[in-house]
Structure 1
Amino acid sequence: MSSAAAPRAVPPGLPESLSGHAPQSAAQAAVPAPVASRLQQRLMWPLETVCALLMVAIIGLLLAGVVSRYVLDAPIDWVDEVVSIAFIWLAMLGSAVAMHRNEHLRLTLFVEKLSPVWQPRVHALALAAVLSFLGVMVGPALEQAREEWFVTTVTLGLPNTVRVAAILSGLVMMLAVVAAHAARTVGLRRLLPALLLMAALAAAGLLLKPWLMTLGLLNLVIFLVGGVGLCLAAGVPIAFCFGLGVLGYLGLSTDVPLVVVVGRMDEGMANLVLVSVPIFVLLGCVLDATGMGKAIVDFLASLIGHVKAGMSYVLLGSLFIVSGISGSKVSDMATVAPALFPEMKRRGNKPPEMIALLATGAAMADTVPPSIVLIVLGSVAGVSIAGLFQSGFVIAMVLLLALLVLARFKARHEQGDGSRRAPMAVVGRLLLVAAPALLLPFLIRSAVGGGVATATEVSTIAVLYALVVGQVLYGGIGWKRLWAMLIETAALSGAILLILGTAAAMAWSITRSGVVQELSGFLTTLPGGWVAFMGVTIVAFLILGCLLEGLPAVLLLAPIMFPIAKKLGINDIHYSMVIVTAMNVGLMMPPIGVGFYIACRIGDAKPDDVIGAIWPYIAALLVGVVVIAAVPWLSTVAL
C-alpha cells in the first residue's frame, strides 16, 4: 500500500510486507521472457474465470440452503457436500491465482535489508524452494487421488477423488505459474544454480537420513524451527515455509510416507466453517467499493468530532464498527484513515500520534466479529464460533476503553479552535445515510449469537444484504468491478487457506513427535499454575505476532496450547481471547511487527517517526491484555 490515497493497492487483509512481491532489484535484474509471460496470461484467464464462478456457486448454494431450511422447512441435504467440494477447488485454484498476482503472504523485512547484489540471488533461492516443494508434492498428491477413488461421498456417492483432485490440480497449476514467473523475473542464469543447490541439499539429507533418525526430537528444531526460520528470512511464502519444513522433517527423519502431508493439507482446508473466510473477504470488498464504511465514519465525525479528543474517539469508534463488517485490519485502516487524517491534522494532531492510534485501534478491533482470525481459531481449536463472536465484542470494548482513556489524556492540550458541533440536520442526514451500514454488524452478531444462522450462513446473508443495499442506496457496483472482486477474493482466500493446509500438516507432525506431551507436562507443573501459563501464553503470542501474520501464529500454537489450557481448567473462550489479543498487539509492535509498517504506509509516514509515539498505546493495550487474562469473567459474561 503506497499511500492513503490509494487504499486498494493491497487487497483487504493482505499486509504488503507479507505480500509476495519480488524485491525491486530482482525484477530489474530479470531476463525478459515473453514466452513465459504469454503462457501465464493464457493460463490465468480461464483459471480466474473458474475461481469467480466457484465463488458465485458457493454463495448461491449456501443461500439456497438457508432459504430451504429456514423459509421452506425443507433442508437440502447435499448442499454442504457440494459446497465442501467447490470450496477445496476454490482454495487450491485461488492459490494459483494468488501466485500469479504475487499475493502469497511472505516476510520481506530481512530480504529488503540485503544489498542489491544479494537480493536477486536470495529471490532465486526462494523461487527454487517453492518449485522444489511443489515438484515433490505432485507425486504424493497423485497417489492420494488414486487411493480416494474407492471412497465415496456420503450424500451423492461420488468418488472422493473429485474433491482430492483439487489439491493435485492446484499444485500443478502453481508449479506452472511459478516456473513461468521465475523465467520472467530471475531467468535461468540464476534459477538453475538455485535449483541445483536445493537438489544437493535434498541428496545430502537422504544420505544423512539414518543418522538424522537417531536424533529424535532434535529434528523438530532442525527442520521445523531452523528450516522454517531460514525459509521465512529468505522471503519464501509462509505456506511454503511450513510445507518445506514438514517435508524435510517427515521425509528425512521419519518413515512416514509423504502422502500423509496431502491428507493433512486436505483436512486443514476441508472444514466447512472456513467457507465463511472468502465470503467475509468478499464482504469487505463490497463495503469498500460501495462506500458504506465511509458513511459510518462521516456520521461519527459529525456526532462527536467537535469535542476534545473527538477525532481520536471517531477514529477508534470507526475502527470498532467497521471491523464488525469487513473482518480485515488492513481494510479497516484503509477505509478510516483517508477520511479522518486531514481533519485530525487540521486540529493539531501530529501524524505519528495519528498513525500510532490507527495501528493500535486496528489491533483492538480484531476481536470484533466477523473476525477471520476468530473463525479460523474456532475451526482449528474446536471452539464455538458463536461463543467467540459474543465474547469478542466485550473484549474489544475493554481494549477500546484503554485506548480511549489514553487518547483523552494525550489530547488535553489539543487545539479545538474552529471545531463546532455539526447542526442536527446534518447529523440526522448522515445518520440516515449510514443507518443501513450501521445495521449490518448488529445483524451479523445477533444472527450468529442467537443461533439463527451459522458463521458461514450469516456471511452469505451479509454479502447479499450489502449488495442489495449498496445497489439501492450507495451507487452500486458495476459488473466488471464485481467480477474483479470475485477473482480478488479467490486469490486472497487461496493464499490464506494454503497456509491453513500446510500449517495443519506441520501441527500434526509436531503432535506426532510427542513433544506436545512433554511440553504439556512442563507447562502444567509451572509454579503459579494457570497464572504462569497465561503469562507464557501472552509472551509467546506477542513474539509470534511480531514475526508472523495472525493466522500462521494461531495455526502453529493453538493445537498445542489448548489441550494444556484445558488441563489447567481454563475456559476455551477465555483462552481464545487472550491468544488473539496478545497476538494482535504483537502484530503492531515495532520494530518487527508487520502491522506497524502497514499502518505507516497507509498514513504515509516514516516508521522511525512513529516508533516513539506508538509505545504508550502499545502499553495501554498490554494493560488491557493482562486484565483480560486475569479476569475470566470478561470473556464469558456475554455467553
Structure 2
Amino acid sequence: MEVFIFSLVMFSTMIFGVPIAFAVASAALALLLFFGPGLPLEAVLVVMSQRMFSGADSFPLLAIPLFFLAGNIMDGGGLSARLIRLADAMIGWVRGGLSMVVVMAEMMLAAIAGSPSAVSAAIGSVMIPEMKARGYNENYAAALVAAGGSVGPIIPPSIMLVAFGSLANASIADLFLAGIAPGVIIGLSLMALCYATALVRNYPKGDRPSFKNITNALGKAILPIFAPVIILGGIFSGVFTATESAMIAVVYALIVSMVFYRTLSFKDVLRICYESAIISSQIMFIISMAAFAGWVLASQHIPQDIASFFLSVSDNPLIILLMINLMFLAFGCFIEGIAIMVILLPTILPVVEALDINLTFFGIMIVINLAIGTITPPVGTCLIITSSIAKTPLQYVIREILPFIAVILAVLVLIVLFPGIVTFIPDYFS
C-alpha cells in the first residue's frame, strides 16, 4: 500500500506538470502523513528541511556544479570548434567521415564537459548545418549528434557518475576508470554504424589532409586535449579527489579561454556562471528533495520490501539485472537521468547488496541506461536539442535514431554478460 500511495502521488503530480523535485517531495509527504508516526505538519516540514540540507551537504556533490561550469567555459571559449577541426583532420577524409567526426568530437568534448545536453548543443550547433551543407540528411544529422551526445554520461569525468557515486556511496574514481572502456566501445560502435550508413546512402568523403594540416589542427587543440589528461590523471594518481579536480578544471578552462586564446571576456564568464548556476541549482534541488524522499522510504522499510520482491522472483543475478535494466529504460523515456537515480536507487541498492553485485559495474550499467534515456522519446533531451538545431520535426529524427539506440543497447547487453569489460581497468589500478 505504501508503494502504491507513493507512486500514485508522484506520477499524478508529474502528469499535471509539477516539476520532478516537487512531485517526489509531495509523494514523500503523503507517505509520511498517511503512514508515519503521526507527527504534526509543522514537525514534518522541519524534518523535511533538515533532510534536504543534509542530502545536499556533500563534498562529492560539489563536483556537479563545478564540472557544469568548466564544460560551459570551455564550450564558450571555442574549445569544441578546435576539437572538431582536429577530428576532421584525422578521419574526415574517409567515406562518411564527417559523421564519424561528429562522434569523435563528442567523445573528446565529453571528456571535458561530462553532460550529454551540453555536448549535443555544442557540437550540434556547429556540425548539423555543416552536415546539411555537405549533403547529409538533416534528420540523420540531428539523430547522429544526439546519439553521440549520449556518450557524455559514460566517458569520465561524468556528472551522472558523480551523482551515482554520491547517492550509492561508491568510489567516484573507480566509476571514472570503469567508464573508459564502455564509453570508447560505444563511440567506436557508433562510428562503425556511421561508416556503414555512409556506404549505403553514398554520403561524401572529404579530401585527405596533409601532414601539415594534421599537425596544425593538433597544435590548436592541444590545450583542450590536456584538460581531461589533467583532470583524470590527478584523480587516478590520487593527487586530488573528483571534487578538487572539478575546481582545477574550472581554473584551467578560465586560463585557457581568457589568457591563451582570449576568446572569453569577463562579461562572458559572468554570463556563463549565471547559466551554470541555474542548471546546477535545479539538479541539486532534485537531489535534496530526493534525500528527504529516501529517508521517508527507508523509515517505511520500502527498500527492503522491494528487495524481497525482486529476490522472490529469482535469485539469478542475470534475471534481476534484466528486470532492473528494463525498469531504468522505461523510466528513462519520461524522466531525466539524475532524477531517476534519486528516485530508484534507494529501493534498488538493497537488491544489489543482497546479490553481491559489483557496485562499480552496476553504476556503469545504470548510467548507460540513463544515457539511452537521453535519446528516447518523448523526453529525450538530446533529441529535443538536436531537432531544434536542425529545425526538423522530432518524429523524423526518432526514425533515424533507432539504429543508434540498437547499437548502444547491444553494448549494454555485452557488458551485462561480460562485466569484466567494465571492471578490468579499476581492478588493474586498485
Aligned residue pairs, count: 421
Question: Alignment RMSD, CA only?
Answer: 1.7
Q: Is the 8 A contact 1:348 1:414 kept in 2?
A: no
Counterpart Cα distance in 2 of 1:415 and 1:425: 29
Task: Confirm whether residue 245 of structure 1 aligns to residue 27 of structure 2.
Answer: yes
Task: Confirm whether residue 398 of structure 1 aligns to residue 180 of structure 2.
Answer: no
Matches within 5 A, 1:493-572: 493-527=280-314, 529-572=316-359
Task: Confirm whether residue 264 of structure 1 aligns to residue 51 of structure 2.
Answer: yes
Task: Confirm whether residue 421 of structure 1 aligns to residue 203 of structure 2.
Answer: no
Matches within 5 A, 1:85-96: none
Counterpart Cα distance in 2 of 1:519 and 1:296: 46
Quote the residue 1:431 is aligned against: 218
Quote the residue 2:148 is aligned against: 361
Quote the residue 2:239 is aligned against: 452
Task: Confirm whether residue 376 of structure 1 aligns to residue 163 of structure 2.
Answer: yes
- Structure 2: gaps (5+ residues): none
Using structure 1 for the length normalisation, give the TM-score.
0.64
Task: Confirm whether residue 276 of structure 1 aligns to residue 63 of structure 2.
Answer: yes
| SS of structure 1 residue aligned to 2:314 | coil
| SS of structure 2 residue aligned to 1:638 | helix
2:101 to 306, 309, 314: 314
Counterpart Cα distance in 1 of 2:387 and 2:332: 17
1:593 to 376, 380, 397: 380
* Deviation (angstroms), 1:472: 2.6
Q: Is the 8 A contact 1:467 1:476 kept in 2?
A: no
Shift in CA distance, 522/251, structure 1 to aligned 2, threshold 3 Å? closer
Counterpart Cα distance in 1 of 2:345 and 2:203: 47
Q: Is the 8 A contact 1:364 1:621 kept in 2?
A: no
Shift in CA distance, 450/525, structure 1 to aligned 2, threshold 3 Å? farther
Query: Residue by residue, what CA displacement relative to the aligned partner does 1:322-369 show, whole Å, maximum 9, x if unpaired?
Result: 011111111111111232223322443211112222112111231111
- Structure 1: gaps (5+ residues): 1-217
Matches within 5 A, 1:35-54: none
* Deviation (angstroms), 1:414: 4.6
Task: Confirm whether residue 469 of structure 1 aligns to residue 256 of structure 2.
Answer: yes
| One-letter code aligned to 2:154 | T
Q: Is the 8 A contact 1:273 1:379 kept in 2?
A: yes
Quote the residue 1:236 is aligned against: 18
Shift in CA distance, 489/342, structure 1 to aligned 2, threshold 3 Å? closer
| One-letter code aligned to 1:526 | V
| SS of structure 2 residue aligned to 1:367 | coil
2:360 to 566, 573, 577: 573
Counterpart Cα distance in 1 of 2:102 and 2:84: 8
Quote the residue 1:88 is aligned against: none
| One-letter code aligned to 2:125 | P
Q: Is the 8 A contact 2:114 2:159 kept in 1?
A: yes
Shift in CA distance, 244/527, structure 1 to aligned 2, threshold 3 Å? closer
* Deviation (angstroms), 1:499: 0.4
Q: Is the 8 A contact 1:548 1:587 kept in 2?
A: no
* Deviation (angstroms), 1:592: 4.3
Shift in CA distance, 416/540, structure 1 to aligned 2, threshold 3 Å? closer
| SS of structure 1 residue aligned to 2:333 | helix
Q: Is the 8 A contact 1:547 1:594 kept in 2?
A: no
Using structure 2 for the length normalisation, give the TM-score.
0.93
Q: Could you say which structure has the greater relative contact order, defined with CA pairs below 8 angstroms and 6 or more residues apart?
A: 2
* Deviation (angstroms), 1:474: 1.7
Task: Confirm whether residue 300 of structure 1 aligns to residue 87 of structure 2.
Answer: yes
Q: Is the 8 A contact 1:308 1:414 kept in 2?
A: no
Counterpart Cα distance in 2 of 1:416 and 1:492: 37
Quote the residue 2:7 is aligned against: 225
Quote the residue 2:275 is aligned against: 488
**Structure of larger gyration radius:** 1
Query: Residue by residue, what CA displacement relative to the aligned partner does 1:494-515 show, whole Å, maximum 9, x if unpaired?
Result: 1111100111111221222122
